[in-house]
A and B are shown apart, each in its own frame.
Chain A
C-alpha cells in the first residue's frame, strides 16, 4: 500500500539571516552596553561569568518560560542584583536593557522557532566575543599603564 507524501510548509516565509543581520548586530550592541554597567562580585573569564545576567536572559528566552517584557526585565534585574558587586542598577542600564528586550521580543515574534533558536545562539556568542574583546583591551591597557 502506498503512503501519501506529506509536505510540510511554513505558513509564513521566515526572513533570512541576511535580512535580520542588522537587527541582530543592534541587539548585540545594546546587550554589550548594558553589561558595561554590570560589575560581577568576582572577575573570571569564563563565558558564564562574562555574560552575567545576559546569559540568563538568553536562556529564559530560549526556554520560553517567560513571554511578557516586564516579567523578563524583572527576571534579569533580579539576577543582576544577586550577582553584581553592588545591587544598584543605574537608570541608563535599565533603559538599555529594556530596549534590548523589546527588540528581542519583536524579533522573536517574526521568526519561526527553529530560526529563533539559531539567532539566539548567534547573539549569545557575539555578546561573548564583544565582552571578551573588552576584557583583553582592558587587561592590555592596564599592563601598559603598569609598565610606564
Chain B
C-alpha cells in the first residue's frame, strides 16, 4: 500500500477518534518547543520515518508496518492522565498498552488495512521506537525481541524529527544515526520570516541544495533540514544567482498587466515607482504600456486652461482646439513615461530611438526634442514642441484614440529593444544573504558576516528601516507599506514637521516585500495577512499537494468556497471533515453546490494558460478535454509538479496566497463591514484563522504589524491573532485557553479551538441574518451578538420579521434558531 493512501486513511481515522483535540507535545518553556496535537505528531512521525526509511534502504515490505506503527507509537498519550499533565495534574504514561488499548490499536491497524505479520510488526515498531520510560516498558520490550536495525533506526529518526525543538538538536542523535549510514546533515535558516520574499529564498536555496545532492527532510517556517551523501560547498555566487533566478521566476509567473500596474506610480509624482520590475522582466514593460494606455491621463485627458490658451494662440479655435489640446496632453504624458523607461533601461537606447523615429516617420532631432518635455514644462513650450511633432507624424488630424494607439504601439516596440544594465536586485540580494545561514555537517557556511558591522561600530546618522531596523535607503510610500509612512514613530525625533523626505524610511528588502505583495493586489490598509504553517510539516509533498488543491478551490470559488461567504459558513457549521476534504477537495464544492461552476472556471483558466492539452500531457496529466483536466486538478489527481506550478501563487478577487513547502501566506480582504467595531473584526479574524487551521491542517499566525518580519513563530495552539486585553478576558471567561495569545486545541479546555470556531461562525451567521432582516446591532456587529442572550437576539429578529411564522419567514426563523442553538451550546453554556 502506498503511504499516500495510508496517509489519507490515517488522517480520517485519527480525526474521527478525536486525536486532533489530544495533546502529544506541550512546552512549559514556550521558546524551546511547540504544542502539537496527537493527530499531527502521529502523522509527522510516520511520514518522517517513511522518508528516513527510503534513505536507509529499509526493505519495501517493511514500509507499511513502519508507517502504521509510528502512527500509534504514542497511543498511551490518549489517556486522560497524560492530557491533564500540562495543567499540573495527571500522570506520565509509559509505552506499554493496556489490554483494552491494545485491542483498540489492533482495530485501528486493521482499519488501516494491515493484518497478520504486518500488523504484528507495526505493533512492535510502536513499542520499540524509543527507550523505555518505565521498568514495565523495559520488560515488555525485552519480551517482544528486537527489530531489524535499519527499521528501528528509521522509526527512531521519525520520532526525533517530529519532536525537534530546534536546529541545535540536529547534531545529536539524528546526526549520529544518519552518519552511520554515510549521510551528512545540513540545514538552511533565515533570521527573519518576511512573507513572500522568504518563500522565494526557501525555494531557491532548496533547489540549490538539491542540486548539491541534499534531500530535504523537514520543512519549518524559517528553514529546511536536509540529508545528503555528497554535499559540495555552496558558494556566495551560487546563492546569489539562485535567489536572483527565484525572484525572476516569481515575476515571470505574474500577469504582464499586474507587473505594469505595480511598476507604475503616478504621472505627476514618481512616474515609475518600481523600476526593478521593468528591469527584471520584459513582460513588465509590455504590461506597463498596456496599463498606462488604458488610463485617463492618456486616453481621455483634461487639458488645463493654460494649454487651451496656448493651443488657441497657435491658431486653433472651437471644438477643434479642445481636440488638439487633448492630443497635446496625451503625447506629453506618453513621452514622460517613455522617458522614464529610457532612464531605467539604459542599454539599447540608440537602437530604440532610431526605431521609434522611423516607426513614427519623424526626424531624430524632433524626437529628442519631444523627450525634453516634462511635468513642469510651460504650456507655450509644450505646444511649440508637440504641435510640429504632430504635424510631422501626420497624427494631428488623426482621431484621438487612433493617435494614442499608434503612439503606444510605437513606444512599446521601441521599449522592447531596451535592456537593463547591471545586476538585478543587487542590494536586496545582499541583504537576503546577510539574513541567511547555511549549516553543513557541523560547519556553518555564512556567505556574509553581518556582525562585522557591529564589530566596526554603528553609525548613528544612518537611517534605519521602520519595519525591520536594517539600514534604510527608501522613503516609505503609503501605497506600499500602508498608512503611517508619514506619521510619528519611535525612530523619528519628536515635534519635527512630517512630510516630504521627513518620513518613515524602509530598507530595500522590506520595499521588495511590499512590492511583491503589491503585485498580488495586496493593499496594506484593506487586507489582512495570515501565515499558515503546516501541521504536517514532515511531508511538504503531501501538505503542498493538498494545499495546492485547496488553495485552487479557494481561489476559484466566487460565492461558494470562500471564507467570507455565508454559504460556506453554513456548510462549515454542519461539519467538515478536513481529512475527507484532503482526499478529494472537489467534494467540498459538491457539498456547496458549485462544483459545476468551479470545474468550468478552472477549465477556462487552464485553457487560457496552457493553450494545448499536449502541454498538460508533458506534465503527466492525461485528459481528453479541458473539463476533464480541471476535474482532475480539483480532485487532487494532477501530478504534483503541475499543481505546484498552478498554485505557487494564486489570487482571487478577495485574497491572494503564496505557497511553499515551509508555509503559506494568505492575504485576505479584512472581514466584516467597513464601519464595524475593531474588536468585532478581531473576532472575525480569529475565526478565519481557526477555519484555516481546521481546513488546512495548519497552525495560523496573524501578525499585528502586517508588513513587519518576524522570527519563526512556535505554535502553542491552533491560531494566534492580535486581541485586545478585554477580548482575551472575554474568551477566557467562556472557557477558551489562551497561551501567549495562541488558542488551545486540547479537549481539556471547555471551548477548544474547533468548537470556538463553530461558535464564532454561528455568531457570524446570526449577524448576517439580522442584517438581512434590517435588525442588526449597528457598528458593534459580532460583539453585539456575542454579548446578548440568544433569546434577546431572537426577539429582535422575530420583531423585525413581523410575522415570524408566516410563509417563508417560518423557514428563516427555523434556520435562525439553529444558529442560535449552536451559539448557545458553545458560547453561553
Residues of A whose CB lies within 8 Å of any CB of B are 21, 45-47, 121-122, 124-129, 132-133, 135-136, 139-140, 143
A21, B803: Cβ atoms under 8 Å? no
Kindly supply a per-residue 1/0 record for chain B positions 792-819, scoring 1 wherever the CB is within 8 Å of any chain A CB and 0 otherwise. Answer: 1011001100011100001001100100
Nearest 9 pairs between A and B by C-beta? Answer: A125-B791, A129-B791, A125-B789, A128-B791, A139-B805, A125-B792, A47-B795, A136-B814, A136-B813
Q: Does any Cβ of A come within 8 Å of B790's Cβ?
A: yes
A125 to B789, CA, bound (A): 7
Closest residue of B by beta carbon distance from A133: B817
Of residues 765 to 795 in B, which have CB atoms within 8 Å of A's CB atoms? 789-792, 794-795
A142 to chain B, nearest CB (A): 10
Tell me if B790 and A136 are in contact (CB < 8 A). Answer: no
CA distance A128 to B796 in the complex (A): 12
B829 interface residue (CB < 8 Å to A): yes
Nearest to B820 among chain A residues (CB) is A129
Q: In the assembled complex, which residues on chain A have CB atoms less than 8 Å from the CB atom of B794?
A: 125, 128-129, 132
- List of B residues within 8 angstroms of A136 by Cβ: 804-805, 810, 813-814, 817
Kindly provide the distance from the CB of A27 to the nearest chain B CB, expressed in whole angstroms.
14
Binary contact track B815-829/A, C-beta < 8 Å → 1, others 0? 001001000000001
State which size class the interface on B falls in: 10 to 19
**Inter-subunit contact B791/A45 (CB<8 Å):** no
The answer to whether A132 and B789 have CB atoms under 8 Å apart is no
Contact of A45 among B789, B804, B814, B817 (CB under 8 A): B804
B792 touches A132 (CB 8 A): no
- In the bound complex, residues from chain B placing their C-beta under 8 Å from that of A133 are 817
| CB within 8 Å for A45 and B805 given contacts A124-B791, A132-B798, A136-B813 | yes
Q: Distance (Å) between the CB of A140 and the closest chain B CB?
A: 6
A-B contact pairs, 13 of them (CB 8 A): A21-B829, A45-B805, A121-B792, A125-B789, A125-B792, A126-B789, A128-B791, A128-B795, A132-B794, A132-B813, A136-B804, A140-B810, A143-B810
Query: Beyond the given A125-B792, A129-B794, could you list 19 further A-B residue pairs with CB under 8 A, ordered by the A residue number?
Result: A45-B805, A46-B799, A47-B798, A121-B789, A122-B789, A124-B791, A125-B790, A125-B795, A126-B790, A126-B791, A128-B794, A129-B820, A132-B794, A132-B813, A133-B817, A136-B805, A136-B810, A139-B805, A143-B810
**Which residues of A sit under 8 angstroms from B814, Cβ to Cβ?**
136, 140
Expressed in whole angstroms, the Cα–Cα distance for A135 and B809 within the complex equals: 13
Chain B residues closer than 8 Å to A47, beta-carbon distance:
795, 798-799
- A25, chain B: closest CB distance, angstroms: 9
Which residue of A has the minimal Cβ distance to B829? A21
- Bound CA–CA A46/B795 (angstroms): 8
Residue on B with the closest CB to A124?
Answer: B791
Q: How far, in whole Å, are A46 and B810 apart by their CA atoms in the complex?
A: 14
Most buried by B among A45, A47, A127: A45
Collect the chain A residues with CB atoms within 8 Å of residue B798's CB: 45, 47, 132
Residues of A within 8 A of B792 (CB): 121, 125
- Cα distance, A132 to B797, chains bound together (Å): 12
Chain B's closest residue to A125 (CB) is B791
**When the two chains form their complex, are residues A129 and B805 in contact, meaning their CB atoms are under 8 A apart?**
no
List A contacts of B803 (CB < 8 A). 45
Shortest distance between the CB of B304 and any CB in chain A (Å): 65
Q: List the B side residues contacting A132 at CB < 8 Å.
A: 791, 794, 798, 804, 813, 817
| B793, closest chain A residue (CB) | A125
CA distance A127 to B792 in the complex (A): 11
Whole-angstrom distance between the Cβ of B394 and the nearest chain A Cβ? 77
Closest chain-B Cβ to A130's Cβ sits at a distance in Å of 8
Q: State which residues 76-125 of B face A: CB under 8 Å.
A: none
In the complex the two chains form, what is the Cα distance from A50 to B530 in whole Å? 46
Specify the chain B residue showing the minimal Cβ separation from A16: B733
Most interface-central of B799, B803, B805 (chain A CB within 10 A): B805
Task: Give residues of chain B (274-309) contacting chain A, Cβ–Cβ below 8 Å.
Answer: none
Q: Give the distance in Å from the alpha carbon of A125 to the alpha carbon of B820 in the complex.
A: 12
| Chain B residues whose CB sits within 8 angstroms of the CB of A143 once the complex forms | 810
Q: In the assembly, what is the distance between CA of A36 and CA of B813, in Å?
A: 21
For the complex formed, measure the closest distance between the CB of B800 and the CB atoms of chain A, giving whole angstroms.
Answer: 13
| Distance in Å: Cβ of B804 to nearest Cβ of chain A | 6
Q: Within the assembled complex, what's the spacing in Å between the Cα atoms of A135 and B813?
A: 10
Q: Most chain-A Cβ atoms within 10 A of its Cβ — which of B791, B804, B805, B820? A: B791
* Contact between A139 and B795, CB atoms less than 8 A apart: no
What's the Cα separation between A45 and B794 when bound, in Å? 12
Q: Please give the distance in Å from B114's CB to the nearest CB on chain A.
A: 46
Minimal Cβ-Cβ distance residue in B for A135: B805
CB distance from A127 to the nearest CB of B (A): 8
A133 to B790, CA, bound (A): 12
Cα distance, A126 to B810, chains bound together (Å): 20
**Cβ distance A8 to chain B, nearest Cβ, rounded Å:** 22
Contact B810 A139 (CB under 8 A): yes
* Most chain B CB atoms below 10 A, which of A121, A124, A139: A139
The chain A residue sitting closest to B802, CB to CB, is A45
A126 contact set on B, CB distance < 8 A:
789-791
Please, how many angstroms separate the alpha-carbon atoms of A140 and B829 in the complex? 27
Give A116 to B247 CA distance when docked, in angstroms.
Answer: 65
The residue among B789, B804, B817, B820 with the most chain A CB atoms within 10 A of its own CB is B789
Q: Point out the residues of chain A lying under 8 angstroms from B820, CB to CB.
A: 129
What distance in Å separates the Cβ of A134 from its nearest Cβ neighbour in chain B?
A: 11
Task: Provide the residues of chain A in CB contact with B795, threshold 8 Å.
Answer: 47, 125, 128
> B790 contacts A129, CB within 8 Å?
yes
Tell me, in angstroms, the Cα distance from A136 to B812 when the chains sit together: 10
Cα separation A140 to B804 with both chains bound (whole Å) = 12
In the complex, residue of chain A having the shortest beta-carbon distance to the beta carbon of B792? A125
Q: How far is the CB of B28 from chain A (nearest CB, A)?
A: 28
For the complex, give the distance between the alpha carbons of A60 and B232 in Å.
87
- Specify the chain B residue showing the minimal Cβ separation from A143: B810
- Distance A133 CA – B813 CA, assembled complex (angstroms): 9
- Minimum CB–CB distance for B375 against chain A, Å: 65
Task: Give the chain B neighbours of A139 by CB distance below 8 A.
Answer: 805, 810
Name the residue among A121, A136, A139 with the largest chain B CB count within 10 angstroms.
A136
Complex interface: chain A residues within 8 A of B805 (CB): 45, 135-136, 139
Interface residues of B in 325-370 (CB under 8 A from A): none
